[in-house]
Chain A
Amino acid sequence: MEKLAMGDYGTYVWSCFVLTFVIVILNEWRARRRHKAQYRDIEVRIKAVEERH
C-alpha cells in the first residue's frame, strides 16, 4: 500500500499513468472500430451491387 501511495504523490503519478493508459487504449479501440466499420460499409455496398448481377 505504501508503494502505491508514493509519499504524497501517489494520486498525481497514478492519474498520469491511468490517463495515458486510457488514451492509448481509446486510440487503439477507436482505430479498430473505424476500420471494421469502413470495411463493413464497403462490403455491404459491393455485395449489394454484386447481387443485382
Chain B
Amino acid sequence: MTTGEHTPGLMSGLLGTARRDLLLVWKRPGDVLNPLFFFAMVGTLFPLAIGPSVEQLEFAGPGVVWVAALLAMLLSLNSLFVGDFEDGSLEQLLLSPQPLVLLALGKTIAHWLTSGLPLVIMSPILAITFRMPADTILILMATLALGTISLSLLGSVGAALTVGLHRGTALLSLLTLPLSMPVLIFGARTVSLAAVGDVYSMGIFALAAYAVGALSLAPFATAAALRISNE
C-alpha cells in the first residue's frame, strides 16, 4: 500500500485480522478438523454410555448434538489467542492504531468461520445417526448457527482473560461453561420442541437476540480483557 493514497478505514483492521486467521487455518487444516473429530467422538460417547436403544437416542438426539457442539467449540476456543500470544503477534495487535474492539471482532469472526460454521455443516451427519427427521435437522442447524456465533463471541472473552495463564485451558472451560448454559438451553430444547411438533419460535428468537447482544457487547469485553492480560 503506497503511502498517502488513502488512510486505512476501520473495516480494514477487522477484515485484515479475519483474513490473516483464515489464512493461518488454511495452512493448518488440522485446526478445523480436530474440533470436528472431537464433535463426532463426543457424539459417539453418548450411545456408548447410554446404550443403543433407538427410542432413547431419538429422544436424546438434540441434546447430545448440542452438548457435543458446545464442547467442540470450547476446545477450539483454547487456541483463539494463544498462538498469537506465543509468537508475539498479540502484542502487535495491541499496539495497532486500529481499535482493538474491531480487531478482536475480526478474530472472533474468523474463529466462527473455522469452528462454528463447520460444526453447523457437519451436524446433520451426527443428527441422522440419532434418527432425527429432516425438518428437525434444519431447525438444529439454525439453532447451531446462532448458538455457535454466540459461543464464539462469549468464548472470546474467556479466551482473552485466560491467555497466557498457567492451566489456562481448564480455566477457560470453567469460566465459559456457566455462561454458555442459556445458549445450550435455548438451542437444544428448541430442537426437542420442534422434534415433537411443538411451537419452537420462542427459542429461535431468544437465540437470535442473544447472538445480537453478544455481537454488540462481547468484543468490548474481549478487547478490555486482552489489554488486561497483556499488561
Chains A and B touch each other in the complex, with CB atoms below 8 Å apart: no
